[in-house]
Structure 1
């Protein structure tokens, strides 16, 4: 069951059904308050941001905020240095990486054609 709650105009706390009071001004504006303390403070024109117990004060002064929301530090990791692999020296690997994609594709296509031709020769 969902209970319709309203917010106190001054303190920012939730007001459940059957609680709180309304102040309707001459100009027609409606203000809803949780308790007499909030209503009196509003009528005395106190600032909610300066009272420790209001939601606005707590939000402005970052009270009750869990550390889960804080940004986690990321550990800096060193980039791994390229190493030669068996059968290919470092220069060969660098040369292959610096090749243009078109040249690589052409070489791949040529190798595929050769394999297909070889397989076609075996079938006959």
Structure 2
């Protein structure tokens, strides 16, 4: 007997007959959810692609293998039933598992190289920088650091010179001003508690 299963509109799980929650929107669109969690997340406008347990996330992040478990099960059944006794069944099953692993690894390994464009730099400039030898790159970095340090030192010297000028002018003003006689000790107790 074959059961007609449907898919959850949020998580992508199989829903068997008599299970799931049916939601009909005002525009007569029907949504079928696996459980109340999926329904709640859908109404809260959460994106299934951002939740690790949904089918969409698993598909986007290549967690699903080409050879499904059902296919492997069928292969095992065929090998167990239809092969002559002289064939080593365990070896064959191991080969199927190895093949599945190889497909997974191959998919993981093949990443396409791409070069991002950088604002204000042409392709020739980028390629020239890539082709530069490490020694040349290090020398350029050292020179840039030296220049920055010199610039900082120069600004510090200028600030010191300005500060010295300001202090000189303040001393001259204090000498030129007439000094008033110092007042006597302060009397009155400073206004403590009543």
- TM-score normalized by the length of structure 1: 0.54
Between Structure 1 and Structure 2, the one with more helix by share is 2
Query: Corresponding residue for 1:26?
Result: 26
Consecutive unaligned residues of structure 2, counting only runs of 5 or more, are 66-99, 107-194
Separation (CA, whole Å) in 1 of partners of 2:40 and 2:11? 11
Structure 1 runs, 4 residues or longer, greater than 2 Å off: 64-72
Q: How many residues align?
A: 72
Larger Rg over CA atoms: 2
Does the alignment pair 1:13 with 2:13?
Answer: yes
- Higher relative contact order structure (alpha carbons within 8 Å, sequence separation ≥ 6): 1
Whether 2:36 is the aligned partner of 1:36: answer: yes
Structure 1 unpaired stretches of 5+ = 73-124
- Give secondary structure in 1 for the equivalent of 2:58: helix
Shift, 1:62, TM fit: 1.1
* Secondary structure, aligned partner of 2:42: helix
Deviations 1:76-98 (A, max 9, x none): xxxxxxxxxxxxxxxxxxxxxxx
The residue matched to 1:69 in structure 2 has which SS? helix
**What's the RMSD between the two structures over aligned residues?**
1.7
**Which of the numbers 64, 67, 71 marks the counterpart of 2:101?**
67
Q: Matched residues in 1 for 2:10 and 2:104: separation?
A: 28
1:88 corresponds in structure 2 to: none
